[in-house]
Amino acid sequence: MNFKKVAIIGLGLIGGSIGLAVRKELPDCVTSGFDADAKVRERARELQLADDIHDDPAEAVKGADLVILCVPVGAMASVAAAIAPGLSPDCVISDVGSSKRSITDALTKALPDHTIIPAHPVAGTEHSGPDAGFASLFHQRWCIITPPQGAPEDKVHALVDFWEGLGAMVETMDADHHDRVLAVTSHIPHLIAYTIVGTASDLEEVTRSEVIKYSAGGFRDFTRIAASDPTMWRDVFLNNKDAVLEMLDAFLTDLALMREAIKAGDGEMMHDTFSRTRAIRRSIVALGQDDPRPDFGREHD
């Protein structure tokens, strides 16, 4: 089976990109869209992020065989309630959120009679809103699907095909494992970046203007992900608390060891650690998950 009509609820970076990607890559599939913000709906119409943009979420999902919720994790339950009156009985409810256990629970509770198959495209930029989307966002990126036990196989396959159709590579795993993996590869990096950018802006000894001027020493890399959407990220930390705290504590233990090494002048320990980390970078580049050019391909002229 293939999905014939996809409803996209939330037309920011990810929702907008899905709309544009479907039009480009899956031209036989119709899209409808909704966003809670009237200004976003207006802009989404101008940008034609979906074939039809509705003012009522229940209208937007009418006739859709796939509904994708592209809203902050904390808004999933209320959005599910808002679309419920318009849902076709056999439609698949999916999402793009970054914490799968809490979303699975929230959607299953809100829509107990529907097929829930959560998904998470590991893709994005630091920009948000309807103008941030683009059709190739999911190319060569992984999309993780976390089918709950008993999810109908044909519908899971259809969702896999859908994401592969948008250019993604798909992996399925258990929701709890997803939450641990993403805590490491996404949530802790964002938490650290937000925190160090905050620390640097509040120092007494070094001015904010100095931090900005000399950011090319490494700091500027952290400011990119620290410019991500605050509401989205607040909800991620509220909804993936256990895995985030577990990984944060692993990091804090390692950072304390590094602090001791610096204090003790233990150059050997530092050199060992700093030598091992190069291999990971090489593997990421070899797997097509980052730009092979130095400095992310930043322009130097």
Site for a second copy in 194-223 (CB under 8 A): 194-201, 203, 205-206, 208, 210-223
d(CA 290, CA 177): 24
Name the residue among 111, 53, 46 with its Cα closest to residue 83.
Answer: 111
CB of 89 to a second copy, least distance (A): 34
| Residue 68 or 197 with smaller CB distance to a second copy | 197
Q: Which residues pair with 115 in a beta bridge?
A: 92
CB of 17 to a second copy, least distance (A): 10
Strands (E) located in the chain: 5-9, 30-34, 52-53, 66-69, 92-95, 115-116, 119-121, 142-145, 169-172
Bin 129: left if φ > 0, else alpha if -120 < ψ < 50, else beta.
left
| Residue 3 or 222 with smaller CB distance to a second copy | 222
Chain center to CA of 66: 19
- Does residue 26 belong to the site contacting a second copy (CB under 8 A)? no
Choices 21-29, 58-66, 154-162, 246-254 (CB under 8 A): range interacting with a second copy: 246-254
Q: Show contacts with a second copy in window 124-153 (CB under 8 A).
A: 124-127, 132, 134, 136-137, 139, 141-142, 144
Are the beta carbons of 12 and 133 closer than 8 angstroms?
Answer: yes
CB of 4 to a second copy, least distance (A): 27
Q: Show contacts with a second copy in window 272-291 (CB under 8 A).
A: 273-278, 280-284, 287, 289-291
- Does residue 237 belong to the site contacting a second copy (CB under 8 A)? yes
Instruction: Kindly give the interhelix angle for 13-25 and 38-47, rounded to the nearest 10 degrees.
Output: 30
- Does residue 241 belong to the site contacting a second copy (CB under 8 A)? yes
Query: What is the distance in angstroms between the CA of the first residue and the CA of the last residue of the chain?
Result: 50
Instruction: Please count the residues of this chain forming the interface with a second copy, following the rule CB under 8 A.
Output: 112
CB of 88 to a second copy, least distance (A): 32
Choices 28-36, 101-109, 148-156, 233-241 (CB under 8 A): range interacting with a second copy: 233-241
| Residue 56 or 290 with smaller CB distance to a second copy | 290
Name the residue among 47, 44, 23 with its Cα closest to residue 9.
Answer: 44
| Residue 32 or 186 with smaller CB distance to a second copy | 186
Q: Classify each residue of 170-184 as buried b or exposed e, where b means 16 or more C-beta atoms within 10 Å of its C-beta.
A: bebeebeebbbbbbe
